[in-house]
Amino acid sequence: MIPGLLPELQVIRKDFPILERTLAGGQPLVYLDSANTSQKPQVVIDAMVDHLERHNANVARAMHQLGAESSEAFEAARDKVAAFLGAPERDEVIFTKNASEALNLVANTLAWAGPRQLREGDEIVITEMEHHSNIVPWQLVAQRSGATLRWFGLTDDGRLDLSRIDELITERTKVVSFTWVSNMLGTVNPVAELTRRAHAVGAIVVVDASQAAPQLPIDLAAMAPEERPDALVFTGHKVVGPTGIGVLWGSRALLEELPPFLGGGDMIETVAMERSTFAAIPHKFEAGTPPIVEAVGLGAAVDYLRSVGLDAVHEHERAITAYALEGLATVPGAKVLGPLDAAERGGAISFELAGVHPHDIAQVLDVRGVAVRAGHHCAKPAHARFGVQSSARMSSYLYTTPEEIDAFIEALHYTRSYFKVA
């Protein structure tokens, strides 16, 4: 057996009912698209069904027993997410629709009147390896506020090019926003170092943990204050939770300085026709009826991951990723984009196969039951940096087995022979 794999892998797989299904032609499912969205364990499905069957009511505004139960379940989910992140305070956890909305919340409210308002002459620093969700909101905000958008370039081996850090992070820098783990290159970025540098010039730091939260242990409270980001986002559906829910964690200091994002029910203290005053965090940023059952599902999801242990999940991902990288090295014409050392990367591997377009790779693999992603993975600038228009991407998770990687590699050999590039 490969060292580092989850010892109870077969038991874990049983937790995920979808892994038992077969596809057209009786093919077993080999799901290697978890960086896109993860599969859901039975406990998450059950928690959501149980909530809908037994406890459904609106939260915070229903004066009856079901309302109390529903509110309690919703707020318990916040506690679970706070524990998952090691958040210094549970009220710093804001539920959003997804990671994209969380990033838009921060970017937009930074452009509005308040102590942190971005102005002409200010600079926002991002990186060339961001998901479009961490590029476009900052472009829009730069246009609206007059601030300038700048970015870290990438080295040839797919890491952030930190050689120009002194030119990029300056006293003009007000926000530094970057992904912890790249969804395309798999690169793991130096959060502590970048955050320290940004804080030294008084900038706030926003971390996109959409790909980190599923596979790395996160403990915000344990970070040194100067190395702790001011905001961190992730999305529920990639951490074995449901779609329709994301998380913004923000330090109390930052969240109190930012103006409200959306206006509506539940985010107010009092409303008169002329003006309103706003609720304290977290409710200040949660206008309207929230995704209640999704929060319940997310709470069950992060508890599930914690019960398996994020260190063990991380080890498993590393072992599977190393095994997949070894396998890819045996496929003639296969070229991996991003770092080649599994110890320094996340579990998403983007690659090219000489002579076969990524779409065609994904199609042939799909016929063999192997689900991968093809395209630009919402990271067009990162693809452009490496002179490729698109790539294929395999991404594993805690339920991925070495046998599935074998099936994937064999399907790539078959793809080459099908397109006669052998």
Partner 1 sequence: MSQELDALYQEIILDHYKNPHHAGLREPFEAEVHHVNPTCGDEITLRVHVNDGVVDDVSYDALGCSISQASASVMTDLVIGRTVDDALSIHEEFLTLMQGKGSVEPDEDVLEDGIAFAGVAKFPARVKCALLSWMAWKDATARSLEASAR
Ligand X SMILES: Cc1ncc(COP(=O)(O)O)c(C=O)c1O
**In the complex, least distance from residue 361 CB atom to partner 1, rounded to whole angstroms:** 9
Does residue 357 interact with partner 1 by CB under 8 A? yes
Separation CA 248–CA 99 (nearest Å): 8
Q: Residue 386's binding partner, choosing from partner 1, ligand X, none, with beta-carbon cut-off 5 to 8 A by kind?
A: none
Does residue 418 interact with partner 1 by CB under 8 A? yes
Does residue 236 interact with partner 1 by CB under 8 A? no
Q: Strand, helix or coil at 283?
A: helix
Separation CA 166–CA 369 (nearest Å): 48
From its phi and psi, is residue 114 left (phi > 0), alpha (psi between -120 and 50) or beta?
left
**256-259 long-range contacts, Cβ below 8 Å, gap at least 24?**
256/281, 257/114, 257/115, 257/116, 258/106, 258/109, 258/110, 258/114, 258/116, 259/109, 259/112, 259/113, 259/114
* Single residue of 51, 131, 174, 376 touching partner 1 by CB under 8 A: 376
**In the complex, least distance from residue 249 CB atom to ligand X, rounded to whole angstroms:** 15
Q: Residue 374's binding partner, choosing from partner 1, ligand X, none, with beta-carbon cut-off 5 to 8 A by kind?
A: partner 1
For the segment 151-170, give every residue that binds partner 1 (CB under 8 A): none
Does residue 387 interact with partner 1 by CB under 8 A? no
Part in contact with partner 1 (CB under 8 A); list of ranges 162-170, 193-201, 270-278, 358-366: 358-366
Backbone angles phi, psi at 31, to 5 degrees: -90, 105
Nearer CB in complex with ligand X: 195/235: 235
Strand-pair category, 370-371 with 30-31: parallel
* Residue 378 annotated among the catalytic residues of the structure: yes
Q: Residue 278's binding partner, choosing from partner 1, ligand X, none, with beta-carbon cut-off 5 to 8 A by kind?
A: none
Q: Residue 283's binding partner, choosing from partner 1, ligand X, none, with beta-carbon cut-off 5 to 8 A by kind?
A: none
Give which of 392, 391, 408, 402 is closest to 330, Cα–Cα. Answer: 408
Chain centre distance of CA 147: 26
Part in contact with partner 1 (CB under 8 A); list of ranges 86-94, 238-246, 325-333, 352-360: 352-360
**In the complex, least distance from residue 338 CB atom to partner 1, rounded to whole angstroms:** 18
Continuous segment of H or E residues that includes residue 117 = none
The most distant pair of C-alpha atoms in the chain lies apart, rounded to whole Å, by 73
Q: Over the Cα atoms of the chain, what is R_g?
A: 22
Which residues of this chain interact with ligand X, rule CB under 6 A?
Answer: 98-100, 131, 133-134, 179, 183, 208, 210-211, 235, 246, 378
Nearer CB in complex with ligand X: 70/183: 183
- Given 378, 388, 418, 419, which residue is catalytic? 378
Separation CA 103–CA 36 (nearest Å): 18
* Single residue of 131, 238, 318, 368 touching partner 1 by CB under 8 A: 368
Nearer CB in complex with ligand X: 98/195: 98
* Single residue of 90, 172, 335, 380 touching partner 1 by CB under 8 A: 380
**In the complex, least distance from residue 388 CB atom to partner 1, rounded to whole angstroms:** 10
Backbone angles phi, psi at 145, to 5 degrees: -95, -15
Separation CA 149–CA 355 (nearest Å): 37
Catalytic residues: 378
The contact set with partner 1 (CB under 8 A) reads 24-25, 27, 357-360, 363-364, 367-368, 374-376, 380, 383, 389-390, 418-419
